[in-house]
Each structure stands twice: as structure tokens, then as C-alpha cells.
Structure 1
Amino acid sequence: MIRKKFTEEQIITVLKEAEAGAKISELCRKHGVSDATYYKWKAKYAGLSISELKRLKTLEDENRRLKQIVADQALDNWALKELLAKNF
């Protein structure tokens, strides 16, 4: 079975179609996904618009970058403490 990769925008479009009243089984058949995949998407992306999703992605990227900065600073701090402990 070929696995299709849908973008978040496409997933939200499918969910909006379902909210508009389309039958889920027909919608899944039309887009080539299983019912389980639809419900996973619904659990993850329910209520999001495309603009909110883009904002969420940018916030997640910024959060990842900030966590990396904190980890680097903690490592530097640990190295300095080790260096100072050896000198005294």
C-alpha cells in the first residue's frame, strides 16, 4: 500500500469538509485515507484554521530553538563549574 503524505493545510481542508456535512466514509474514500487516519487527524487538528496552524508551527520552532539555547548554556555552566572545581 502506498503511503500518502498530506500537508497540514490539506488535512485541515479535509476536516473542514467533514464539518460542512460530508459523510466521513465518503470523504475518506475520496481522499484515500482510512477512517482511523481521519479520526487521528481530527484529534490532532480539530478546530484549527490554517493561519492558526502556521502560528503553532512557528511557536513550536521557536520553542525548540530556545530549549536548545538553554541546553547549551547549561552545558557551558557545568563545564565552567568543573573547571573552577579543579583549580581550587
Structure 2
Amino acid sequence: MIKKRFNKTEILRILQENRDGKPIQQIIEEYGISQATFYNWRAKYENKISNELLIINKLKEENDRLKHMYADLSLENLLLKSKLEKHKSS
């Protein structure tokens, strides 16, 4: 049997399938891994996954905050340009 090596991204995707409700038995048959391998991956990467999810959520919140800030500044800029043009024309 040919031994396939999975990269980190593939392992994380496989573990995500389990968290989404796919049974372990189905996963190990589909990917041709042993049950021990699956549990070793889970032990090794589970904390990394939760930490990465926390970081992603924080980045999403920061991104939303920055988008709102940009929108407010853009509106303020348009308002000031409008006032400036009115002042120039009078």
C-alpha cells in the first residue's frame, strides 16, 4: 500500500469534516488513514485550529471596524468637498 503524506492544510480540512459531523470511521476509510493517525492529528492540530479560528474572528472584527471607519471618513470627505464647492461658487 502506498503511503500518502498529507500536508497541514489537508489535515486541517479532514479534521474540520469530523467537527462538521462526519463520522471518524467514514473519514479514515475515505482517506485511507488509520484510526491512530486520525487521533494523532487531532491531538496535534486541535489547539492550533481553535487558536487560528480565534485569530480569524478577531481579524474579521477588526476588518469590519476599519470598513465602518472608512465609510464614515468617505462620507465626511464628500460632505466637505460639497461644502467647498458651494463656497467657491458663491
**Structure 2 length as normaliser, TM-score?**
0.52
Cα displacement (A) at 1:47: 3.7
Could you list the per-position Cα deviations for residues 19-66 of structure 1 after superposition, in whole angstroms to 9, with x for gaps in the alignment? 0000000111011101110000000001434xx4xxxxxxxxxxxxxx
Q: Is the 8 A contact 1:28 1:34 kept in 2?
A: yes
Q: What residue ranges of structure 2 are gaps of 5+ in the alignment?
A: 53-90
- Please name the residue that 1:61 is paired with: none
- Please name the residue that 1:4 is paired with: 4
- Please name the residue that 1:39 is paired with: 39
Aligned-partner Cα distance in 2 for 1:15–1:36: 13
- Higher RCO, 1 vs 2 (CA within 8 Å, ≥6 residues apart): 1
Going by fraction, where is helix more abundant, 1 or 2? Answer: 2
Q: CA RMSD of the aligned region, Å?
A: 1.6
- Give identity over the alignment, percent: 38
Q: Which runs of 4+ in 1 moved over 3 A?
A: none
Q: What is the total number of aligned residue pairs between the two structures?
A: 51
Larger Rg over CA atoms: 2
Cα displacement (A) at 1:3: 1.0
Amino acid at match of 2:34: S
Q: Determine helix, strand or coil for the equivalent of 1:46.
A: helix
- Please name the residue that 1:29 is paired with: 29
